[in-house]
Structure 1
Amino acid sequence: MNRLIQPLINVKELLQLASTQKLTLIDARYGYSDYEKEHLDGAIHVDLNKDLSNVGENPAQGGRHPLPSTSSFVDRLGRLGISPENHVIVYDDKSAAIAAARFWWMLRAVGHKKIQVLDGGFQAAKMLGFPTNDKRPTPQPLSTYPSNSWQLPVAELEEVSKASQQASQQIIDVREVERYKGIKEPIDKIAGHIPGAINLPFTENLDENGFFLPKTTLRDKYLKAFNGSPTDKIIVHCGSGVTACHTLLAISQAGLNLPKLYVGSWSEWSRNNLPIATEK
């Protein structure tokens, strides 16, 4: 049985691996146009809205990027040619914050072991000489990926509502400070945050060049933030359940167990007439 590998891989490691074994490269940049123009050689594109979400008409039920059904996702994995044996590496062009971390979390959640996110993403790979082109490979479809449930912890709206009223629970909001404080809200209808939530912006997982902080630094950061709370008492959210996965990726890279992901996040909470806190 495959063991879990490090969640992050750097470009030098990728170049070495690519020269010795077959990898499945996934391009998770937002939109298809950039992929069409240029992508890492051999990469297959996945779309946040079409492949990694079940976008509906009512964000009050599940948020702006609710998870697709497990059956839909594992069917898509089969059509991408991904089996449990594949070594999958995913990248985007926003330090994993757009969809690379979300794809990593989803693949982990269906039980896949060999999945890594490329630290530094497309830009770092291109800068260090990984070949790029505009060729679109055709995946060799396989049977549906063998999984029938999400195996990583998630929290639903009712649980988050109860947690916001309990000192024994911890809610982490990874949006930028101004959105958390309610100073601005460029996407959702109402500004503010879930009462009781603390703010740890996902951007603070990165250094000034857009690479993830060292493992020991991330570990110290999150052990301090957790303040002794077990991870099953911690819920992580963002605007719509995408960049929250960036923080879950950082926590996993730190060698810690994963807290719960609130997929609906602020986009769901703010549309359900629930209490809202601000710090203006």
Structure 2
Amino acid sequence: MTVRLVDVRGRPAYAAGHLPGAVHLDPERDLSAVGPDPARGGRHPLPTAAQLADVFGRAGIGGDTFVLAVDDGSGWAARCWWLLRHVGHDAAGTLDLRAYAGPLVRDEPAVEPTGFVARERGDDVIAAEEILARLGDPSLVLLDARSPARWRGDEEPLDPVAGRIPGARNAFFEEPLPDGATEPPEIVATCGSGVTACVVAQKLVLAGREDVRLYPGSFSEWCRREGYPIETGGQKP
């Protein structure tokens, strides 16, 4: 098995210095689709399986490649990890560049494209409509990866409305999973636009909850939908 380092920071950060041998995938263009309406997919819509096959193939990722996705704590490495799993490639991990003390380089390696076969899963996402229909269902627990202040609705720097999906528990992605997070029958990871929710999803998978689902549109989609309720206030559970 070969190892492919994939740097998913923005292009300026990658150009300023990256791990030797790391290729670059742009978080906005490669790990997100272009969506004309955030109410249908959120601010970072999921790419299609065909789009991901092209992206990962151009990055030199094949069936026998272990992918180590690299970021600087933004959550995009976990997003790359989740997208790989979403299309059937489980041989992946993440690295926070802030924990790396070795040399960085500026040259971009040549990459031999390969054929990436996408086998899209159908059991790892949940739609807004299902969440709406199941609000108040104790068997379905939403874990919101945003900061406690955004979860409470004290502030909202990115979306037009502050607050959260009713009943969602706070599980800030920069902190360990809250007590009891792995216990509910069904777990959904959510956030602002489906990025840092992948950090929570990765933690849950590592804790043994392979069945965690992602709400891709997350609050950026939810808050733009007419008639979808929003909750504010409260203390972090």
Is the TM value for this pair above 0.5?
A: yes
Does 1:87 find its partner at 2:57?
no
Q: Return the offset for 1:181.
A: 0.9
1:209 aligned partner = none
1:1-280 matches, cutoff 5 A: 22-29=2-9, 31-94=10-73, 97-118=74-95, 121-125=96-100, 127=101, 129=102, 131-143=103-115, 145-150=116-121, 152-205=123-176, 221=178, 224-226=180-182, 228-230=183-185, 233-273=186-226, 274-279=228-233
For the residues of structure 2 that align with 1:35 and 1:247, how far apart are their CA atoms? 25
Q: Return the offset for 1:271.
A: 0.2
Q: Deviations over 1:133-190 (max 9, x none)?
A: 10101210112x1124235510011011122232222111111111111111110000
In the alignment, residue 136 of structure 1 is paired with which amino acid?
E
In the alignment, residue 131 of structure 2 is paired with which amino acid?
V
Identical residues among aligned pairs (%): 40
For the residues of structure 2 that align with 1:159 and 1:28, how far apart are their CA atoms? 31
Q: Return the offset for 1:263.
A: 0.3
> How well do the aligned residues superpose, as a CA RMSD in angstroms?
1.7
For the residues of structure 2 that align with 1:162 and 1:34, how far apart are their CA atoms? 42
For the residues of structure 2 that align with 1:156 and 1:172, how far apart are their CA atoms? 15
For the residues of structure 1 that align with 2:98 and 2:123, how far apart are their CA atoms? 30
Between the two proteins, the alignment pairs up a number of residues equal to 233
Aligned 8 A contact 2:2 2:64 in 1: no
In the alignment, residue 225 of structure 1 is paired with which amino acid?
A
For the residues of structure 2 that align with 1:242 and 1:57, how far apart are their CA atoms? 18
In the alignment, residue 69 of structure 1 is paired with which amino acid?
T
TM-score using structure 1 length:
0.79
Aligned 8 A contact 1:71 1:148 in 2: no
In the alignment, residue 5 of structure 2 is paired with which amino acid?
L
In the alignment, residue 36 of structure 1 is paired with which amino acid?
A
Taking structure 1 as reference, are residues 133 and 81 closer, same or farther at Cα in structure 2, changes over 3 Å only?
same
Aligned 8 A contact 2:88 2:119 in 1: no
For the residues of structure 1 that align with 2:123 and 2:82, how far apart are their CA atoms? 8
Instruction: Decide which moves more: 109-118 or 83-92.
Output: 109-118
TM-score using structure 2 length:
0.92
